[in-house]
């Protein structure tokens, strides 16, 4: 696999509803094998962007290439190369897990691209997402976490090169969320699947994504790893300590040097704590900056 290969290439993407520009010149690239998290406040255009990339919505302007083709006109063979996991979808609750997955897998055979792997074996697929023990269970009786595992199985049954995940863990309890993260990590690391996910869970984005894109004001306003965004946006850590019954707080660009000097000068420091800038801090700063000053067109791009 070529990991420098660009499989999503978006240039000057625009989307207008009536007189409102929801997307106003979005630019983004995704390379093969990456896990990308798309963040943004409600109404920023995340879902619109994803639906355009999936070929479900026509854009107002700009150039979009996904797996080398324009999603707006791509055919069935192109669709066989992508997988989609929606927030929720309706199905027939009377289907059993194994029979539904086997049924859906048969749809991919006629559209197989020469040299492309065939659909996943049903038993292998259930093992991958942890549903083997529920193979003969009716879908209507699955728990929320099991149901979400089935959603992922449906999304990857055709061995997609590119997988879209829309709010994948909404409503999950902590254990189900952790198990789902393991599945996503395995797909990316072991099977070289490229993944683009939207989420409101900043902790989830930080754990899963190689790169984070922040959409605000109709544009991508930041592009980089969670750590890099945190360093570049706020630039400081917060050092807290107590001494002589008093508590102190100090912002420091170099927290290590500050703490070293603090301890060298005082031997009675207690409750020492260093709080680094978080992804949440960076996210809130960037969104606020571009919502209050939409004329700013600079994209924050940082290395991993």
Residues 169-226: tens digit of each pLDDT: 776 778 778 888 888 888 887 677 899 999 888 888 888 999 999 898 888 988 988 8
Query: What pLDDT, on a 0 to 100 scale, did the predictor assign at position 48?
Result: 92
CB atoms within 10 A of CB 182: 10
Query: What pLDDT, on a 0 to 100 scale, did the predictor assign at position 61?
Result: 96
CA distances from 267 to 56, 241, 245, 248 (A): 64, 12, 14, 15
39 compared with 303, residue with greater pLDDT: 39
Query: What pLDDT, on a 0 to 100 scale, did the predictor assign at position 133?
Result: 95
Query: Over pLDDT 70: what percentage of the chain?
Result: 84
CA distances from 124 to 34, 153, 207 (A): 24, 10, 26
pLDDT digits (tens, 9 = 90+) for 14-52: 999 988 899 999 999 999 999 999 998 888 889 899 999
Give dist(CA 157, CA 174) in Å, integer.
26
Give dist(CA 129, CA 186) in Å, integer.
10
Query: What pLDDT, on a 0 to 100 scale, did the predictor assign at position 190?
Result: 67
Q: What share of the chain is helix, strand, coil (3-state, %, to 5)?
A: 35, 30, 35
Query: What pLDDT, on a 0 to 100 scale, did the predictor assign at position 100?
Result: 94
Mean pLDDT, the chain, whole residue set:
84
pLDDT digits (tens, 9 = 90+) for 61-81: 999 999 999 999 998 888 888
Task: State mean pLDDT over 153-176.
Answer: 85
Q: Outline where DSSP puts E strands in the chain.
A: 6-17, 20-31, 35-39, 61-66, 82-85, 162-166, 194-198, 211-216, 219-224, 237-243, 246-252, 270-275, 300-301
Length of the chain: 304
4 compared with 26, residue with greater pLDDT: 26
CB atoms within 10 A of CB 9: 15
pTM above 0.75, yes or no: yes
Q: Given pLDDT bands bounded at 50, 70 and 90, which one contains residue 303?
A: very low
Query: What pLDDT, on a 0 to 100 scale, did the predictor assign at position 289?
Result: 67
Query: What pLDDT, on a 0 to 100 scale, did the predictor assign at position 195?
Result: 94
Say yes or no to pLDDT of 248 above 70. Answer: yes
Q: Given pLDDT bands bounded at 50, 70 and 90, which one contains residue 291?
A: low
pLDDT digits (tens, 9 = 90+) for 117-130: 678 899 999 998 88
pLDDT digits (tens, 9 = 90+) for 127-143: 988 899 999 999 999 98
DSSP helix/strand/coil, 239:
strand
Burial 205-243 (b: 16+ CB within 10 A, else e): bbbbbbbbbbbbbbbbbbbbbbebbbbbbbeebbbebee
């Amino acid at each position: 696999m070529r990991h420098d290969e660009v499989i999503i290439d978006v240039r000057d993407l625009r989307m207008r509803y009536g007189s409102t520009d929801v997307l106003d010149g979005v630019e983004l690239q995704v390379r093969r094998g990456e896990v990308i998290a798309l963040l943004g406040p409600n109404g920023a255009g995340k879902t619109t962007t994803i639906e355009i990339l999936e070929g479900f919505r026509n854009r107002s302007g700009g150039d979009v290439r996904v797996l080398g083709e324009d999603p707006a006109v791509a055919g069935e063979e192109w669709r066989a190369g992508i997988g989609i996991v929606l927030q929720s979808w309706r199905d027939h609750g009377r289907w059993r897990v194994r029979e539904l997955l086997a049924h859906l897998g048969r749809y991919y055979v006629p559209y197989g691209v020469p040299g492309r792997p065939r659909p996943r074996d049903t038993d292998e697929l259930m093992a991958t997402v942890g549903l083997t023990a529920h193979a003969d269970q009716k879908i209507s009786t699955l728990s929320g976490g099991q149901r979400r595992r089935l959603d992922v199985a449906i999304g990857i049954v055709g061995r997609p090169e590119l997988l879209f995940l829309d709010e994948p863990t909404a409503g999950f309890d902590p254990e189900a969320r952790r198990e789902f993260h393991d599945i996503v990590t395995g797909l990316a690391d072991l099977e070289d699947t490229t993944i683009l996910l939207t989420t409101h869970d900043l902790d989830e984005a930080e754990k899963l994504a190689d790169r984070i894109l922040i959409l605000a004001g109709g544009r991508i306003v930041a592009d980089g790893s969670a750590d890099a965004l945190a360093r570049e946006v706020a630039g400081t850590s917060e050092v807290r300590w107590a001494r002589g019954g008093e508590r102190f707080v100090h912002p420091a660009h170099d927290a290590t040097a500050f703490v070293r000097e603090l301890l060298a000068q005082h031997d009675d420091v207690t409750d020492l704590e260093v709080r680094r800038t978080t992804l949440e801090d960076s996210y809130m700063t960037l969104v606020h900056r571009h919502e209050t000053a939409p004329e700013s067109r600079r994209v924050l791009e940082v290395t991993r």
